[in-house]
Amino acid sequence: MSVLTVAEKIAIENQFQELLHVSTFIRSGKDRDTIRKAFDLANEAHSNMRRKSGEPYIIHPLCVSRIVVEEIGLGTTSVVSALLHDVVEDTNYTLDFIREQFGEKVAAIVDGLTKISGVFDNNSSLQAENFRKMLLTLSDDVRVILIKLADRLHNMRTLDALSPEKQIKIAGETIFLYAPLAHRMGFYSIKQELEDLSLKYRHPKIYVDIVNLLKDNEERRNEVLREFMAPVRQKLEENHYRFEMTGRPKSIYSIYYKMQHKGVPFEEIYDLNAVRIVFEPDLDISEKRQCWNIYAIITDIYTPKQDRIRDWVSTPKANGYEALHITVMGNDGKWVEVQIRSRRMDDIAEKGFAAHWKYKGVVSSESELDKWLRKIKDSLKDPDSDVLEFIDDFKLNLFANEIQVFTPKGQIKTLPQKATALDFAYEIHSGIGNTAIAAKVNHKLVPLNHILLSGDQVEIITSDKKRTQREWMSEVVTTKAKTSIKNNMKAETHNRVENGKRLLEQKLRENNVAPNSRVMHKLLEAYDTQTKEELYSKIGMDIITLDDLPKVLKKNSKNKWIRYWQLQLFGVKSRQEHPGKQAPAGENVQPEYRIALCCNPIPGDDVIGYLSAKDGIVHIHKSRCPNAVKLLSSYAEAIVPVKWTTYKVFSYLVKIEIQGIDRPDIYLRIISKITEELNVNIRTFNLASHDGIFEGTIELYVHDTKDVEELIKKLKELKGVESVKRLEMLDQSKEEV
């Protein structure tokens, strides 16, 4: 039991008074009294509780409520619900009591926010199941999601108090699900902060490096922005616009993302700066026209980059975002992004979904976000669907840009970019999709995997004899289509797996072998399968015949990776090594682990381990591998902290990209530097010259990341070599789970 000090009680009351002060929506004493009543109840319920940081627990719901008011823009019911959001979960107060004291709406929201308790099957994930059930509340009250975002944001802001392992798990879940969800709901500032904070804990060194680099050139960057904005400001004032213009750098995460995906250092990111213009609209002129008028003023001063114009004024994003984005060349020879918004557009961009209520009737009666919410309800209808598959598909659709296509009768359907005719078929009805055989796009016959463009008119051709095909999964992008295809194949797959399992168990009995994890691992390795289900399925389909089963069972299991290096795993109990398998001399026996094929980490890379419930093996991923981020979110409790300890002299394959000026003998000098001076073996050498430039890739064998760093450093010393970088060689199609 923890008693509050007098100073803490005063601080808590002061924070509550600050909450009332920022709650400008309060119009009556009744609202104020209700909020006070909720605070008093929460304060009493959490009076003996403290957070990991040591501060009184009530500070958390107070801070969440502040976010709900100031950063999301919700009202009394939401503030009351935010204050009470942990009461039912963490204390003895019941939901019925909340309903009796505060009414049905507050009780429903608190119920949605209460963590789901209970036991789920071993193949599921508590985090994923909670997230899915949270989304179910969309059909009742979207405020549950908004308060949940506020809760996650405050937890991320106070993550310092947790252990590094917990920080990585929560940060991974945040970047995988909550940041995309904030984006989809239209909360760009919250999305940006969640991304930055996630980066801070997932890759702290990279985060600090970028922060320091931004600080180092902050003064010069601000001067450049002032010089850029001055003539624009003058012209806007001459044209009698009432506006605010601000300059800012890209977010830390967006800089990191660009460095990773374009493979460039910080110094080579040329569009670090962004300018935002928010204008008070003239009610006699459409906001769209005023945005383009401002565009004309800016491009009279600076040259625009034509392929970087983003017109979300004519066609808003699905989350309701409206703005005109342009990129122009500044006087210093660097690109600057300019965002043009009306005051209403800016409110929606900053307050997201909540702002739609304020402007209901100003824009169309049903926004694209409303339609998206309806689609989510449809996707959640099947309670037996695989939770992790749902979360994976849902996440894929969070960031999707949209296209608009037409039915033969002219009805508009909104789909993600890269949607196919088959996606369109399932968008119409699952029955249409299941029986589709082809499509007509703009009256021209096309296959079902034809990618649609905005403005296409689509007609689906069906046949009652047509059956769903497994290959269709790679030809659709929408959650609705994927879910329908999976449901149709589920019964067939189940029967095939059960048949394969029965056949395998029968064969094992004939060989007097009991099925166990050691045997199963040996079979998975021998038949090149990743999971038991895949093995059973291939047996059921006669792809694997088991004719050589006796030979496979007698063969000693050899994992080429484990023989040559050692990792230290924390928090995993060692298991008995397989009979016949020898641990390296002089080293302790460790739990069995395997390098993930999707990212192929080498000694020195930052790595995490994932303890698979299916095969009992710890799978080693690079910490920034996309599959690792997914695992952090979906199987947080199965993540194992690992670090490289000792490893033998063994070579690992890496790929580098090299570019430079074509000079006589440049290839010979590169090969000589690699093989003679650095003593590194080359696997492939693929360079080509054109127009005085050479570029390409080299695959070679190294011992660890230090070898790679030394190699890159030495190659950059060669005259004519302009850039050298290691390629990640990520393959998300190969995932170790």
Active site residues: 89-90
Distance, in Å, from the CA atom of 316 to the CA atom of 368, rounded to the nearest integer, reads 8
- Tokens 């969309």 appear where? 138
Distance, in Å, from the CA atom of 643 to the CA atom of 20, rounded to the nearest integer, reads 49
- Locate 94 and state its tokens: 């019941």
State which amino acid sits at residue 472. Answer: W
Q: What per-residue string of b and e applies to 344-374 under the rule 16 or more CB within 10 Å gives b?
A: bbbbbbbbbbbbbeeeeeeeeeebbbeebbe
Complete DSSP assignment for 19-58: HHHH-TT--SHHHHHHHHHHHHHHHHHTTT-B-TTSSBTT
> How crowded is residue 551: how many other Cβ atoms within 10 Å of its Cβ?
9
- 369: three-class secondary structure by DSSP: helix
Strands (E) across 189-319 are located at: 243-249, 273-279, 303-304, 310-311
Please, what is the Cα angle at 450 between 448 and 452, to 5 degrees? 120
- Locate 85 and state its tokens: 């959001």
Residue 278 in contact with residue 243, Cβ under 8 Å? Answer: yes
State which amino acid sits at residue 25. Answer: F
Distance, in Å, from the CA atom of 426 to the CA atom of 138, rounded to the nearest integer, reads 22
- Tokens 């209901």 appear where? 360
Strands (E) across 457-592 are located at: 458-462, 565-569
- 591: three-class secondary structure by DSSP: coil
Count CA atoms within 13 Å of residue 368 on its CB side: 23
Residue 695 in contact with residue 658, Cβ under 8 Å? Answer: yes
Alpha-carbon dihedral 100, 105, 108, 113, rounded to 10 degrees: -110
Alpha-carbon dihedral 580, 585, 588, 594, rounded to 10 degrees: -60
Between strands 335-342 and 273-279, the pairing is: parallel
- 302: three-class secondary structure by DSSP: coil
In DSSP terms, 65 is beta-bridged to none
Complete DSSP assignment for 709-736: HHHHHHHHTSTTEEEEEEE----TTS--
Distance, in Å, from the CA atom of 97 to the CA atom of 106, rounded to the nearest integer, reads 11
Residue 539 in contact with residue 496, Cβ under 8 Å? Answer: no
What angle in degrees, to the nearest 10, is found between the helix axes of 532-540 and 479-510? Answer: 80
Query: Nearest-CA neighbor of 478 among 555, 376, 613, 327?
Result: 376
State which amino acid sits at residue 735. Answer: E
Query: Nearest-CA neighbor of 460 among 484, 426, 483?
Result: 426
Residue 61 in contact with residue 84, Cβ under 8 Å? Answer: yes
Query: Nearest-CA neighbor of 142 among 176, 116, 173, 108?
Result: 108
Distance, in Å, from the CA atom of 595 to the CA atom of 619, rounded to the nearest integer, reads 6
Complete DSSP assignment for 113-129: HSPP-S---TTS-HHHH
